[in-house]
Structure 1
Amino acid sequence: MRKIVVHEPGSHDKLRVEEHPDPSPARGEVLLDVRAAGVNYADCVVRMGLYESAKKYVGWPITPGFEFSGTVAALGEGVTDLALGAPVFGVTRFGGYASRVAVPRHQVFPLPARLTPEEAAGFPAVFMTAYYALFELVRLRPAMSLLVHSAAGGVGSALVQLGKIAGCRVVGVVGAAHKVEAARRLGADAVIDKSSEPLWAAAERLAPEGYDVILDANGVETLRQSYRHVASAGKLVVYGFHTMLPRQGGRPSYPKLAVDFLRMPRFNPLDLCNDNKSVLAFNLSYLFHRTEILREAMDRLIGWVEEGRLSAPPVKTFPLERAGEAHRAIESGSTVGKLVLTL
């Protein structure tokens, strides 16, 4: 089989296509012929050597990739409810940039009729991240106000749609004019283009009392102000730190990382109580073993897709051999929707 292998941390040139023996499915696993694999910003962080769960579960060398679509190639002992050749999609704790991958049965789902294989490959990681943020960490109520950073990106576009399904008022934040219409099409009630207007002045104008939920993957650039703009009894949900990492070059600046670490806001429990606010954070890659969470999330998400209430983000594809180009594109911050590798 072919797969991308990263032998040591570094820039885009560390993504190498190699030939390896096919994996064999263990008991309770499914072997997949991969047709497409989703690209996430986290994959770039893995390549740079800064992703903690990658260090914990794999080390070097490593094959990035959290999500895929394809067909069932073989079944491990004990798996009897899937047919060979069946179209499926799912998640994997690393290893997705490969023509074959073996994963536990509970991480594989039937391909929805409304999604192409390429759309499906870019669906689960972002929508499960958004689902966990909004429906596990937060109890949404109709008419709540949500502020979604990076609202035209992968997770951001999922957050906007799920927020609207829950009956919330959603304000999206984007970083360029060409992303405004994309966020509006997803259902955002208002869109702030921070490249053309002051972000926080606009946010205050749209929600003078603050926001019930703010969802932030930017890191130090916006976290402090995000917390300040959370309403009383509101929640700040943190799921990434993108602004701490480079937009060009593919290598982290360790002096910048050190400065940003020192600038990172610290949330004192006493202040949280007195402010009557909550700060919540998570990393989806630590949750793949939680069968009940994955099943509930994907059952509801697939149901909403089949009902036409959720749509996959627009997809731009790259062949596996051009994974470095996909990483450059997603790191630039200029993309809309999802990037997907095709095999």
Structure 2
Amino acid sequence: MRKIVIPSAGSYDVLRLEEHPDPTPGPGEVQIAVEAAGVNYADCVVRMGLYESAKKYVGWPITPGFEVAGTVAAVGEGVKDLKAGARVLAVTRFGGYASQVVVPRHQVFARPSRLKVEEAAAFPAVHLTAWYALHELVRLRPGMKILIHSAAGGVGSALIQIARLAGCFVVGVVGASHKVEAARQLGADVVIDKRSEPLWETAARHAPDGYDIVLDANGAETLRHSYKHLGPGGRLIVYGFHTMMPRRGGRPDYVKLAVDFVRTPRFSPLDLCNDNKSVLAFNLSYLFPRADLLKEAMDQLLGWVEEGKLTTPPLKTYPLAQVADAHRAIESGTTVGKLVLTV
């Protein structure tokens, strides 16, 4: 098998394409012949050595990658409902940048007929993130006002669509003019280009009484204002800290990290009670063992796909050998939708 191996933390030069023996499935596991693997910003954080669950569960060397699509190559003892050749997609707690992966059966799902293999590989991580934020952490009601940062990215694209399915009023925030139309096409009622108009003044104009939910993966740059613009009973949902990371060079700026760490707001329980607001946060990689949660989420998400209620965002593909180019692109902050490696 071919896979990308990172021997230690570093820039793009540490992404090495290597040959390794094929893995074999153990009891309750499925071996997948991978045709495509999704690229997520978290993969870059893994490469830089800053992703806590990667250090906890794997260490060095590591193969990044949270999501794949392909066909079943073999199954382990006890797996009765999948046969070799079945078209599937799966989530993996690392290891996805490879031509073969082995994962527990509960992390494997039938690929909907509407999804091409590249679209399937780009689907689970971002949609599970969006689903967990909007269907597990909160209860959506029609008419809720929701502000979504990074609305043209992978998670942002999924958040817009899931919120609109629930009848919510969605304000998406993007960082460049070429991203506005993508967010609008996905269903955002309002799109704010923060490079050409004042973000918070414009956001307040569309929700004078504050937002019911703000979804923020930016970190220190926006968290304080995101909290400030919540309405009574509003919830700030945090699932990343992208603005603390570099836009070029591939290595963290530790001075900036330290400054942003200090700038990151700390929310006092006393203030939360008095303000009548909540702050919620999560990391999807810690949730993969939850078979019940994955089944509930993916049943609903893939059902929406089959019904034509969810569409995939724009995709850009790279051959596995060009993984460094994919990492450069996603770190630049200029991409729209999802990036996918073809294997």
Give me the TM-score of the superposition, normalised by structure 2.
Answer: 1.00
Does residue 300 in structure 1 map to residue 300 in structure 2? yes
- After superposition, residues 1-16 of structure 1 pair within 5 angstroms as 1-16=1-16
Q: Which AA in structure 1 matches 2:126? A: V
The AA in structure 2 aligned to 1:304 is W
Residue 83 of structure 1 and its aligned partner are, at CA, apart by 1.2
Q: Give the match for residue 65 of structure 1.
A: 65
The answer on 1:208 being equivalent to 2:220 is: no
For residue 250 of structure 2, what is the aligned residue in structure 1? Answer: 250
Shift of 1:62: 0.1
1:100 aligns with 2:84: no
SS, match of residue 299 in structure 1: helix
Distance 1:176 1:332 in 2: 12
CA distance in 2, matches of 1:105, 1:165: 29
How many angstroms apart in 2 are the aligned matches of 1:237 and 1:17?
36
**CA–CA separation in structure 1 for the residues paired with 2:163 and 2:312:** 15
**For residue 56 of structure 2, what is the amino acid of its counterpart?**
K
Corresponding residue number in structure 1 for 2:45? 45
Q: Deviation at 1:187?
A: 0.3
Q: In the aligned structure 2, how far is the partner of 1:255 from the partner of 1:333?
A: 20
| Shift in Å, 1:175 | 0.4
Consecutive unaligned residues in structure 2, runs of 5 or more: none
State the distance in 2 between where 1:188 and 1:263 align.
30
Measured in 1, the distance between the counterparts of 2:132 and 2:26 equals: 28
Helix, strand or coil: the match of 1:101?
A: strand
Instruction: Please give the secondary structure, in 2, of the residue aligned with 1:170.
Output: strand
Superposition RMSD on alpha carbons, in Å?
Answer: 0.4
Q: Which residue of 2 aligns with 1:217?
A: 217
Aligned residue number for residue 195 of structure 2: 195
Task: Find the counterpart in structure 1 of residue 228 from structure 2.
Answer: 228
2:89 is paired with a residue whose SS is strand
Identity over aligned pairs, percent: 73
Q: Distance in 1 between matches of 2:39 and 2:333?
A: 13
CA distance in 1 between partners of 2:190 and 2:299 (Å): 29
Task: Name the CA distance, whole Å, in 2 between partners of 1:152 and 1:257.
Answer: 25
With the length of structure 1 as denominator, give the TM-score of the two structures: 1.00
> Which residue pairs with 2:168 in the alignment?
168
Q: 1-side partners of 2:6 and 2:113: how far apart?
A: 34
d(CA) in 1 for partners of 2:93, 2:10: 21
Q: Name 1:262's counterpart in structure 2.
A: 262
Structure 1 residue 108: Cα displacement: 0.3
CA shift, 1:314, in A, is: 1.3
Indicate the SS of the match to 1:23.
Answer: coil
Question: CA-to-partner distance for each residue in 1:184-214, whole Å, 9 max, x for gaps?
Answer: 0000000000010010000001111110000
**Structure 1: stretches of 5+ with no match in the other structure:** none
**1:166-188 deviations in whole A, cap 9, x for unaligned?**
11000000000010000000000
Partner of 2:35, secondary structure, is: strand
Secondary structure of residue in 2 paired with 1:60: coil
Q: CA deviation at 1:157?
A: 0.4
Correspondences of 1:72-91 after superposition (within 5 Å):
72-91=72-91
Counterpart check, 1:33 vs 2:29: no
What CA distance in whole angstroms lies between the structure 1 residues aligned with 2:236 and 2:121? 29
Distance in 2 separating the partners of 1:278 and 1:335? 31
Q: Which position in structure 2 is the counterpart of 1:313?
A: 313
Task: List 4+ stretches of structure 1 deviating above 3 A.
Answer: none
